Structures are given as structure tokens and as C-alpha cells.
A and B are shown apart, each in its own frame.
Chain A
Amino acid sequence: MTESTWDPSKPILEIENLSISFFTRMREIPAVMDFSCTVMAGESMGLVGESGCGKSTVALAVMRDLGKNGKIVAGSIKFKGRDLTHMTEEELRHIRGSEIAMIYQEPMASLNPAMKIGAQLAEVPIIHQNMDKAEAWALARQIVADVRLPDPDRILHAYPHQLSGGQQQRIVIAMALMSKPALLILDEPTTALDVTVEAGIVDLVKDLGVKYGTSMLFISHNLGLILDVCDRLCVMYSGEAVESGNVREVFATMRHPYTQALFRSIPLPGADKNSRPLVAIPGNFPLPHERPQGCNFGPRCDYFQDGRCNAAEIEMSTVAGDDRHQSRCLKWQEIDWNAPMQRKAAKEKTPVGRVVLKMDDLRKYYSVSSGAFGGGAKKVVKANETLSFEAREGETLAIVGESGCGKSTFAKVLMGLETATSGSIMLFDENVQSTPIQKRNIDTVSSVQMVFQNPFDTLNPSMNVGRQIIRALEIFKFGTSDEDRNARMLELLDLVKLPRAFAERMPRQLSGGQKQRVGIARAFAGGAKVVVADEPVSALDVSVQAAVTDLLMDIQRENKTTLLFISHDLSIVRYLADRVMVMYLGHVVEMGTTDQVFQPPYHPYTEALLSAVPIADPKVTRKRIVLEGDIPSAMNPPPGCPFQTRCRWKSQVPGGICETQMPPVQTLAGGHQVKCHLSAEVMASMEPVIKIAAE
């Protein structure tokens, strides 16, 4: 089919009443039910929802790549008026890559590791336009330049592993654009990337969409990102679209209880752990074969009405007055959407006690060798440089930074998994800096514990939950008998708000949030005084994140634990941290209370970081500061200030000392520390990055 037979005023993509099921030996599992959406030419459509809601399945259905088990059981997908569901493999092959292209979540995994970048790019026009090889490579070079990659010639001859994550994702985008497709499907394109890199990619995608007039189907779990990129959105829950409409309208006047609950569970500016805590969505996501009768969200909904909401299947109904705004709720006209949310009781702020952990001038260097066969010059990676801080009892100290900034190395050194190169770590007046974990005594080990990022990998799959916690108690030599430990284990399950019956369950029977609770219970088994939480909620869904964060805060209040919260997510850091430490390339560039760090004056890196985080609130305006280039390699840091290669304030420092001298730590009002050459006057002239419009 050619352009001439298709009328550009008609939708590019029209999905009608689509139902998709996966067939296993046991049963048919419906993944998507009665899904409809329309994407017009040049429009970008967002698909939002938690994991398992079927948003990726919709994308793969458009590509007709559902695998052996997946089948479209009803409905149609029309692309430029032609029904994709009845196309043969051969017809599909002509559409894939040329008219519909896809961008994936994991850029590293989606590029062929054994093929040069140029060959992978050039392949697209060679297949679809019968272009000859030289011409295709020339086009590839031009598109690589279009996605703003430096030195396109070198990149074309590189292998994927030689590029950074952000560069790889730009290549995947370039690959999708090689034949100027009419529709671009983006499946969580930035989830695996750092925020500052994400900001660059998002800008690029928006600009290219305008430049090439491409329509987009943008899949994400991140509401802020959808607000940034999309014109329209469709919220999905458990295989159904529950609300769809114009992005700004839906964000401002949502008409489905799930959308509302979702917004209340994410930390927007203004939320605070003590005065305005987040509201988690109660209950769990229903499994695909255990969906309730009637409204799928019914059992978790605040407005649920027995006998009505669970009586029959609910159709999408149009919200009058708005631009194609639809909601799958029977009661949307009855609910008072402007009613203020039921405030949870505000909680006491935890009093901050004595200093329990003190790090002084800590350094951690690794030496690595380069070269394919061992040999080559030995290089020193400075993972941590002159790290000094104190953490007090009952305090939450957040450590923020992008991948490679040294925050995980710091955690390893504190835990004793690695020993520091120099400097001291004082834990309750005891120097543990050079004691590896094997040589620490049980008291020290049990008082410093860790909650890990990925709850799916940290539990032993062949041991039940109770046994795993008891094992930790045995190691910490808790109690004198098995009964003691068993009783303590049940108490710990109570502490993390899991039913006692869960002691008998195997990890595979738990959901992600429940597993993370077990991880927390294990960390607190020995009465930990200092808990290092390394991205504890980043692998969890938004609605579960709120509950797990709340739990951590509650336990902290009760036990006066010192929490070191390592995260790249500034929204959650603003919500729960008392003090924040920002790291860049192994250096602490800024440290202060949460208010100090999130208000000007900023360190230039903090400023960029703040502006890069998408915020799901149309009332918030933020300044866009996109950092150029990638984080320099820690193996080869720039001379002078580590941030000077990407800093937009560099010209404000006289004499170019940024490039030659390591900046001193300036202490501003209230003990706020900033490692920067900028003068006090320039700092004072900084404007806030985020402004909230008056309500």
C-alpha cells in the first residue's frame, strides 16, 4: 500500500476492541481485554500502567510479534486503514521496520553484540528500499549525526559494547528512524538509563517526532515522562484501558479512581513523609486468571459499591465536554473528584540523636588493566574520593547520583564487602574501616545491614520465608532456642506487616513488594542500627513503592534506625530524606538538608539533576537544563573539577580554574556544603528549577 491511498486526516493507528490471550497447557490467560485507542498522524499517545497491565502486550500486538503462545482473539488493529491482524508474515515484514518501528527498554540487549553499529543501521534501508551498501552507510552516518552522537564515523565502526547506555539508546532510536516510519512504538525507552541521560533522550524523541512527523505510541510507567512527551494518554489496569484522553486534561481532571489512586501514591513536590504522607493503593494487583467479576479495580477501590461495581462487565463511557475523554467507571459522575484526599494522620518527626556513623576522608581506589589479553597499562579507578560525613541516630541520609558515581562502592565499603584505601569509618566509636566483613564481630555485622535493590534475586528460591529469616537470626546468634527464634521471626513478619502465614511460603509465591518486605525483615533481624537501603523501591511498581517506603519510615521511627537511602530517584528522596548527599564521579559535590539541596543555591550538577526529573503535575513548571555528553569514565576523570566537562556555569568562574583546580568545599548558611568554584554572588543569583503554580 502506498501513501496515495491513505488519507492523512484519518488515524494512523486504530485499535478496536482488541483482546489478546496467552495460551498455556493449563488454560487461556487473557492479557488484554477490549482495548481500543486511536493515534492520529503526528500525535503521540502514552500508555501508562503498572507491570503486568498489558501495555507491552499491546505494543507487541501492533508489531504482530506475540510469540508462539500469544493470540489476538478478538478485535482489529488498523494501520493506515489496513487490518494488521489478517496480514501474512511476508506483508508484515514489509511494514516492520519501514512503516512501524520500535524502540526497546534495554538498549544493550537490543543491539547485536557481534555486529558493527553501521551494519546494523544500514541493514534497514538495504532491506526496505533496496539501497546499495555505500548509500545505506552514508544514510546511517547522517541519521547518527541526527540523533546528536559525536564522531559518527567512529560510532559506525564500533561494536555496541564500546558505547555507553545513552549512546546505545540513541543508536536504537537511529535504527528506528532509518526508514522514516509513520509510527514509532517506544517501550519504556528510558527506564534503564540515568535521569540526565533520560532527559536528553526525551528531548531528542520529541524533536525528531516533530521533524519527521512521526506518530508515537509511548509506553511507560512514569507519569511524569508521559506528561513531558505525549499529547494523549491511556491508563491501563489489569489488561483494560480504564481512562483515556488528552494528557493535560486527564492529569488535571481525572475521572477514574485508579488514576486518582496512582497520582496519590507518587511523591509529587509538596508531599512530605511526616505532614502529608503518600497513600498507597491497598491490596495487590489481580493475577490475570483471578480477575474479579465486574470492575477489575473494584476490590482496591475506595468508591466500591457492592452489587453494582461487581455486577457486570463495565464499558468505557465518554466524559462529556472534554476532548475524547473516556473512563471505565460506573460512578464517575457521582464521585466528588475535588474532595481533598483523606489525610492520613500526620506523624511525629523522628528526633535525631547522637552520631552513629562518621566517615572521614574515605577513599576507595581500584586498579584495573586494559587490553584484550590482560596486559596493557594499569589504571586506577577512583571510585570514592575524600568522602566525609556524619549520620545520626534516627536520621535518613539520602545518597543521590547517577550510575558510576560511586554510591554503591560506598555501600560496599561501609558493609565491609570491600576495604577502604584510606580514611576512616567510625561506627559507634569503633573504627571498622579496614575490617572486612568476615572479621567483623557479630554485633557489628548485625547492626549494619542492607536492603537490596532487586527483591527478586536476593531471596533464596529454595527456602521458605520463615526459614530465611530464622537463618539470619541464627547467624546473629539471637536467642537460645529454636522457639525463641521462631517467635522473633513471627514478630518480624508483624513488623513488616506481612501475615504470619507467609512464614511457610516460598519466595516465588510472593509479589515484588512482599519480597521486599521479607528483605527488610531480614535486614532488621539483628536489630540493625544502621540500614543501607540501595534503591529499595526502584524495582517495584509505583503503587507498591509508597507502601514499602512507608513501612521503612515506620520501622525507622520505632527503632530509631539510621537509614542511608541510596537512590537516583529525586522525587522519592525529596519525600523521605532528612539530609541529602549528591555524588558525582566519586566526589560529594553537595550536602545539606533536603530543603537546602532542593532550593537554590545549587551545585550546578544538582541543578541539572533536578531539572531532569520528570514531574507528573501539570501545575509544575521546570527549567530544562539538558547536560551534554556522558558522564566521564572514572578511569579517566577530567582534570580540575570533575563536573567541568558538562557544567553550564563554567564561564562564570574567572581564570578557567575549573579546568585545573579541584574546587574547595564551600560551607554556606546552615552547614550547606557545596564543592564548587562559583562565587557567593553567582550562587545567590540562581533561580529555582521547579516552580509550582499557585492553586
Chain B
Amino acid sequence: MLIFIARRLGVMILTALALTFIVFYLTNLPPNLEKLARTEGSVRMTDEAVLAWIDQNGHGGSVFGRYAQWIGLAPGWVLTDEKGVTRGRCINSTNTPETAATYCGVLQGDWGFSTVFKKPVAESVMQKLGSTGWLMLAVMLVMVPASLLIGVLSGMREGSRTDRVLSIFSIATTATPEYVSGVILVAIFASATAGISPILASWGWIDSKTLFLGTATSAMDGITFWNFALPVMTIALYGIGYIARMTRASMTEVMTQQYIRTARLKGVSFGNVVMKHALRNALIAPFTVIMLQFPWLLNGVVIVETLFNYKGFGWTLVQAAGNNDIDLLLGCSVVAVIVVLTTQLISDIGYVFLNPRIRLS
């Protein structure tokens, strides 16, 4: 077990290095750096001045060297310009060239400085990740039980009316992208002029103009049912359909197995056949899919957070990309890579415990 985890961690580190290098290379392409120089320096800089700026701000040299500095494996750059001012990667407002550390990269906890938020990257990414964490938690709490229930109910009697109704529901929800379902939900529940809100308001059942809030900005300060339900439902609906279909397929297959017949002919009632004999076997396949939903959620939130103006990880990613904030983008990618690889490790270990037959090698 320990050897397995150690080996997996090793592979994870290599994967993380490879992925972050790709992102680093793409975000540090020369046109990007020129754009950065013009936004940071002056828009009217000459081409020569731009090149000089790039060199003087530590963006010159080979991409590998800069990547090593960013990671924190190579000493940060230090340059003294013609005015005698020494600047460097590790020198900022709180220290002097003399007291600054030699290495300052991701490994040392220095994730760089966000040009959009004017804050250190680590601080803003962690704060935004916390907000997204709440969103993901809420989505998981809604999505997993609902989808498993729908999947098991429709899979236990294949072809029955329950199965068909639930299948239509899950196919419909999973076929609707979030930017469509989000808009529909807002129109129905959170519009002062359309959907059910005007009716409820005219009956005097609700005090405000709309039933739910069409924006989740207020959820940043305090989560309530009314400001959080719509973004959660938008993401969960899509996932519910998807996981329910997976669970249904797995359940129908398990229900045709011979050990289910054995149980039935032992005199076990149908409810117990499903609960005691089929369920655990049927959950093995959806478990992997559920664990794969974590990375998907991290990306999925981009649209929903922008749609509902919820300042979380996805929203930050959009801001960083839109404003050429290289350090912030890199920070986001590091977080995403770690989340993906960790959930997959948990998924593999959990799989072993769920399925007594499995032996990883």
C-alpha cells in the first residue's frame, strides 16, 4: 500500500512538472511578453524598448532557465540597471537586495504577483479556491445522492416505466449545456418579468421581486439558499444526468448477473436484492466517474461563476486569461493540476476498498 502510494506520488510529481511546464511555455511566448511589457511599461514603447524591458525584468534567457526560477530550483534573477537600482525576482517592497532570498519560486511559497488584483498570487488563488470549494461541495452534496438514486431506480428494472421516465430526464439534463440551463433557470426563477417570480410576487407569496437571486455575488459573504441554489443546480443538473446514466448502465448489468438470480431464488425480496446484493457491485463503476467529476467541476465552474458573477476559481481564471496575468494563470494551473492528480489517487485507492477482487499492479 505505502509503496503503491509512494510510486503514485512520484508519477504525480513528474506529471505536475510536465503540465506546468507546458502552461509556462505557452504563457511565456514572446508575443505575450511583449504585450506584458506594453501594459506594465508604456503603450507607446518602441520595439527596442520593449525588448530591453523584457530583458531587464527577468523575462530574457532560455525558457528552461526561467521555468527553473519560477519553480524555485534556480536562483532568481538579479539585475542592476544604469541608474544603479538593483531589482530582482526575489526583491520586493518588503526587503532589500541584501536581505532578499536567493531562491523564490513555487517551492518556496512565492507564487508571484498578480497584475490584475495587485495582490500576491498565492493569496488571491487560495481565497478564490475557498469560494469555489463551497460551490463544489454544495454541487457534490446535491449531485451524487440524486444521481445515484435516479441511476439505481432506473437500472433495477430495465425497460420499466420508471426507467424510461428517469432516463428521459437524465438524457435531457446531460444534453443541456450549463450556459443554456443556467439561462433557463434564471429566466424561470430569478427574473422579475418572466417565469414564476412575477406570479408569486403578485400573489404576495414572496417579498422581493424574484424568488431566487440571479447573481451569486452576495454568496461570497454569506451563503443562503436563495443566492446559492441556482448556480448549484445549474452545475448539478448536468452532472446528475451523466452519473445517473453511468449508474443505470452499471446497475442493469449487475441485475442480469447470476448471483442476483441466486439471491432471488434464495427467497430474498426484491428490495433486499437491490440494496444488499446489487448496490455495492453497481457502485464500482460510477465511483470512478464521480471522482472524475472533481476536475470537471473545476473547469465547469468557469461558465457558471461568470454567469452568476460568483468570484471563485473559474472567475479568477477568466480574469487572469483576459488580462494576460501570467503569474496568476500559472498559479491557477498548479492548483488545477494538484486537484486533478489528488482526486485520481483517492479514486484508485477507494476502488480497491470497494471491490475486493481488485489488485493494483
The chain A residue with its CB closest to the CB of B355 is: A114
Compute how far the CA of A63 lies from the CA of B268 in the bound complex, rounded to whole angstroms. 13
Given A110-B261, A112-B277, A113-B281, A372-B267 contact (CB < 8 Å) = no
B280 located at the interface, meaning its Cβ lies under 8 Å from any Cβ of chain A in the complex:
yes
B29 located at the interface, meaning its Cβ lies under 8 Å from any Cβ of chain A in the complex:
no
The chain A residue with its CB closest to the CB of B281 is: A114
Q: Mark A86-113, 1 if CB is under 8 A from B, else 0.
A: 0000000111111001101010011111
- Whether the pair B267, A124 counts as a contact (CB closer than 8 A) is yes
Compute how far the CA of A371 lies from the CA of B280 in the bound complex, rounded to whole angstroms. 23
- Whether the pair A114, B280 counts as a contact (CB closer than 8 A) is yes
Chain-A contact segment, one of B1-9, B112-120, B214-222: B1-9
B329-361 CB contacts (< 8 Å) to partner A: 352, 354-361
Compute how far the CA of A294 lies from the CA of B281 in the bound complex, rounded to whole angstroms. 48
Compute how far the CA of A307 lies from the CA of B356 in the bound complex, rounded to whole angstroms. 63
Distance in angstroms from B273 CB to nearest chain A CB is 10
B259-313 CB contacts (< 8 Å) to partner A: 259, 261-269, 276-277, 280-281
B262, B277, B358: most-surrounded residue (chain A CB, <10 A): B262
A161 located at the interface, meaning its Cβ lies under 8 Å from any Cβ of chain B in the complex:
yes
Chain A interface category by residue count: 20 to 34
The chain B residue with its CB closest to the CB of A175 is: B266
- Whether the pair B267, A127 counts as a contact (CB closer than 8 A) is yes
On chain B, the residues within 8 Å of A369 by CB distance are 361
B80 located at the interface, meaning its Cβ lies under 8 Å from any Cβ of chain A in the complex:
no
Compute how far the CA of A109 lies from the CA of B259 in the bound complex, rounded to whole angstroms. 6
Our pick among A101, A104, A123, A161 for the contact of B268 (Cβ within 8 Å) is A123
Q: Mark A657-672, 1 if CB is under 8 A from B, else 0.
A: 0000000000000000
Q: Mark A523-557, 1 if CB is under 8 A from B, else 0.
A: 00000000000000000000000000000000000
A115 located at the interface, meaning its Cβ lies under 8 Å from any Cβ of chain B in the complex:
yes
On chain B, the residues within 8 Å of A127 by CB distance are 266-269
A63, A161, A172, A374: most-surrounded residue (chain B CB, <10 A): A374
The chain A residue with its CB closest to the CB of B7 is: A374
B99 located at the interface, meaning its Cβ lies under 8 Å from any Cβ of chain A in the complex:
no
Distance in angstroms from B354 CB to nearest chain A CB is 8
Q: Mark B309-324, 1 if CB is under 8 A from A, else 0.
A: 0000000000000000
B258 located at the interface, meaning its Cβ lies under 8 Å from any Cβ of chain A in the complex:
yes
On chain B, the residues within 8 Å of A375 by CB distance are 1, 3-4
B257 located at the interface, meaning its Cβ lies under 8 Å from any Cβ of chain A in the complex:
yes
- Whether the pair A373, B267 counts as a contact (CB closer than 8 A) is no
Compute how far the CA of A132 lies from the CA of B351 in the bound complex, rounded to whole angstroms. 32
Given A112-B259, A372-B352, A96-B281 contact (CB < 8 Å) = no
On chain A, the residues within 8 Å of B258 by CB distance are 104, 106, 109-110
Distance in angstroms from A684 CB to nearest chain B CB is 49
- Whether the pair B267, A128 counts as a contact (CB closer than 8 A) is yes
The chain B residue with its CB closest to the CB of A100 is: B265
The chain B residue with its CB closest to the CB of A103 is: B262
The chain B residue with its CB closest to the CB of A161 is: B357
Our pick among A93, A106, A161, A374 for the contact of B3 (Cβ within 8 Å) is A374
Compute how far the CA of A161 lies from the CA of B281 in the bound complex, rounded to whole angstroms. 14
The chain B residue with its CB closest to the CB of A65 is: B265
- Whether the pair B264, A96 counts as a contact (CB closer than 8 A) is yes
A304 located at the interface, meaning its Cβ lies under 8 Å from any Cβ of chain B in the complex:
no
A159 located at the interface, meaning its Cβ lies under 8 Å from any Cβ of chain B in the complex:
yes
Distance in angstroms from A616 CB to nearest chain B CB is 28
What are the nearest 8 A-B pairs in CB distance? A373-B4, A97-B267, A97-B266, A109-B258, A375-B3, A96-B267, A374-B361, A112-B259
In addition to A101-B265, A115-B280, 18 A-B residue pairs with Cβ atoms within 8 Å of each other are A63-B265, A65-B264, A93-B267, A97-B267, A102-B262, A104-B261, A112-B277, A113-B356, A114-B280, A123-B276, A124-B266, A127-B267, A127-B268, A159-B356, A172-B262, A175-B262, A373-B4, A373-B352
- A selection of 6 A-B contacts at a CB cut-off of 8 Å is A93-B267, A127-B267, A372-B358, A373-B1, A374-B360, A375-B4
